[in-house]
Each structure stands twice: as structure tokens, then as C-alpha cells.
Amino acid sequence: MNSTAASLLGLLDSCGREVTGGDLVRIAQARIGAFWNLSRSQVHRELAELAAQGHVEVVARGPRDSRLYGITEAGRRAYRSWFADHLPDETIRVPLLLAVSFGRFLPRDRLRRILDEAESEHRERLEGYRALEAQLEEQGVDAFARATLSFGLHYEEAVLRWFAALPDEVRKR
């Protein structure tokens, strides 16, 4: 099982109800979107494979050939085992850091624009997480989902502190 399949099974299980592939994309975006990217095509491809393996089942069909998926007991056992025994090593890939690392080779003012745009995106993401945090608390969402969101909040705060601490030589390039 790959990490995308395991994450979809986990999301499907945590929903507590049957959902469409589009629903899973929206749920993934809200819960794990900033640090675990899932495209609509990946989700539908993985769901088809998971159905073939008996990990999910199509419980109903809707308009425009949409399918309502439910997780099977085999799927529940498979993703829980994967998370318990096969969690891959963590990798960090931040394209912004490549731009900073090679910033002296960029055209004048380009790195500054890249940094300004990225900082703005991180501020917006932090505000979105804060709003989501209030919404999850109001809805009584479990501590595990809120802990994942807390990581996002802390990450964005750390990135914004990093922006503030950049040397002028880098910031003003």
C-alpha cells in the first residue's frame, strides 16, 4: 500500500460515512492539504485500485457517474497496519528554500518578489488554519484531527518567524 492509498482509507474511515471521491478531495484539502497534496485524479485512481483490492466498496452511484464509497473491514485493517508498521521516512521538500539557496544567481529583485509572495501565502494559510481551528473546536472534532491542525499552525508560525529573521542581504536581493 502506498501513502496516498493509506491516507484515503484513513480519511474515509474517519468520516464515519460513505463519501464520493470529490468529497474525499475536499476533506483532504481541509485536514491535510497544506502538507499532503492529493489531486482529484490521484484520488479517483487510488479509489478504483482500493475497490479492486477489496479495501473500499461502491455503495451507491450518483449523478454524472459519481460513486459513493465506503471502507471495508479489510481496508480498515490494511491502512491501520500500514500506519502502525510501514510509515515511510519523513521527507521535506520546500521549493522556496531552493530559490533562497541559489538566490544570488537570480535576477535582481526576483528573490525579494518570491519571498514577499511566499510570506503572504503563509500568512493567509495561518489565518485559514486559525479559522479552521475555531470551527473544529465548535464542531467538537476529535483531538487527533485538531493535533494535526496544530502542527499546521505551529509550522506556519515558524515559517513566518523565519521570514522575519532573514538577513537583509537575502531579503533585499
pTM of the full structure: 0.73
Task: Give the count of beta carbons closer than 10 Å to the beta carbon of residue 121.
Answer: 13
Return mean pLDDT, the chain: 90
* In the predicted structure, residue 92 carries a pLDDT above the cut 70: yes
Q: What percent of the chain has pLDDT over 70?
A: 99
The pLDDT assigned to 144 comes to: 85
Domain range list for the chain: 3-85, 95-171
* pLDDT tens per residue, range 117-156: 999 999 999 999 999 889 888 888 888 888 888 998 999 9
The pLDDT assigned to 48 comes to: 94
**Is it true that domain 3-85 has CATH number 3.30.1020.10?**
no
- Least-confidence region, from 47-61, 62-76, 84-98, 153-167: 84-98
Category of 12 on φ-ψ map: left (φ > 0), alpha (ψ -120 to 50) or beta: alpha
Mean pLDDT in residue range 79-106: 89
* pLDDT tens per residue, range 103-122: 999 998 999 999 999 999 99
Spacing of C-alpha 130 from chain mean position: 16
The pLDDT assigned to 34 comes to: 66
